[in-house]
Structure 1
Amino acid sequence: MTVALETRNLVKRFGAFMATNDVSLSVRQGARHALIGPNGAGKTTLINLLTGALTPSSGQVLLGGEDITNLPAHVRVGRGLSRTFQINQLFGDFTPLESMMLAIGEREGHGWRAWKPLSRDREVADEAAQLLERFRLVDTMGVPTALLPYGKQRLLEIALAIATRPRVLLLDEPAAGVPEEERHEVLSIVRELPPDVTVVLIEHDMDLVFSFADRISVLAAGSLFAEGTVEEISKDRHVKAIYLGEDA
Structure 2
Amino acid sequence: MTLALETRHLVKRFGGFIATNDVSLQIRQGARHALIGPNGAGKTTIINLLTGVLSPNSGEILLGGEDITSVSSYRRVGKGLSRTFQINQLFGDLTPLDSVMLAISERKGHGRFAWRPLSADREVADEAASLLERFRLVDVMGMPTTLLPYGKQRLLEIALAIAMQPKVLLLDEPAAGVPEEERHEVLGIVRELPANVTVVLIEHDMDLVFSFADRISVLAAGAVFAEGTVAEISRDPQVKAIYLGEDA
Q: TM-score range by the shorter chain?
A: over 0.9
Residue 245 of structure 2 is matched in structure 1 by 245
Cα deviation digits, residues 200-230 of structure 1 (max 9, x gap): 0000000000000000000000000000000
2:44 alignment partner, SS class: helix
How far apart are 1:154 and its partner, in Å?
Answer: 0.2
How far apart are 1:113 and its partner, in Å?
Answer: 3.7
Residue 93 of structure 2 is matched in structure 1 by 93
For 1:81 and 1:243, the matched residues in 2 are separated by 28
How far apart are 1:157 and its partner, in Å?
Answer: 0.2
2:156 alignment partner, SS class: helix
Residue 106 of structure 2 is matched in structure 1 by 106
Residue 66 of structure 1 is matched in structure 2 by 66
Residue 79 of structure 2 is matched in structure 1 by 79
1:232 alignment partner, SS class: helix
For 2:238 and 2:4, the matched residues in 1 are separated by 28
Give the conservation status (yes or no) of the 8 Å contact 1:105–1:114.
no
Cα deviation digits, residues 90-135 of structure 1 (max 9, x gap): 0000000000010001101123545531101100000000000000
- The residue type equivalent to 1:192 in the other structure is E
Q: Does 1:231 align with 2:231?
A: yes
- The residue type equivalent to 2:89 in the other structure is Q
Cα deviation digits, residues 172-208 of structure 1 (max 9, x gap): 0000000000000000000000000000000000000
- Moved >2 Å (runs of 4+): 111-116
For 1:211 and 1:148, the matched residues in 2 are separated by 27
Residue 210 of structure 2 is matched in structure 1 by 210
Change (3 A) 1:116 1:42: same
Residue 157 of structure 2 is matched in structure 1 by 157
Q: How does 1:1-248 map to 2 (within 5 A)?
A: 1-114=1-114, 116-248=116-248
TM-score (norm 1): 0.99
1:216 alignment partner, SS class: strand
Cα deviation digits, residues 3-44 of structure 1 (max 9, x gap): 000000000000110000000000000000000000000000
TM-score (norm 2): 0.99
For 1:135 and 1:149, the matched residues in 2 are separated by 14
How far apart are 1:245 and its partner, in Å?
Answer: 0.5
For 1:112 and 1:181, the matched residues in 2 are separated by 42
Change (3 A) 1:159 1:30: same
Question: Bigger shift: 105-114 or 231-240?
Answer: 105-114
1:40 alignment partner, SS class: coil
Instruction: Give ranges in structure 1 of 5+ residues lacking alignment.
Output: none
- The residue type equivalent to 1:17 in the other structure is F
Give the conservation status (yes or no) of the 8 Å contact 1:50–1:61.
yes
Cα RMSD of the aligned pairs, angstroms, is 0.7
- The residue type equivalent to 1:164 in the other structure is M
- The residue type equivalent to 2:119 in the other structure is S
* Number of aligned residue pairs: 248
1:158 alignment partner, SS class: helix
Instruction: Give ranges in structure 2 of 5+ residues lacking alignment.
Output: none
Give the conservation status (yes or no) of the 8 Å contact 1:101–1:114.
no
- The residue type equivalent to 1:134 in the other structure is R
Cα deviation digits, residues 141-177 of structure 1 (max 9, x gap): 0000000000000000000000000000000000000
For 1:189 and 1:115, the matched residues in 2 are separated by 34
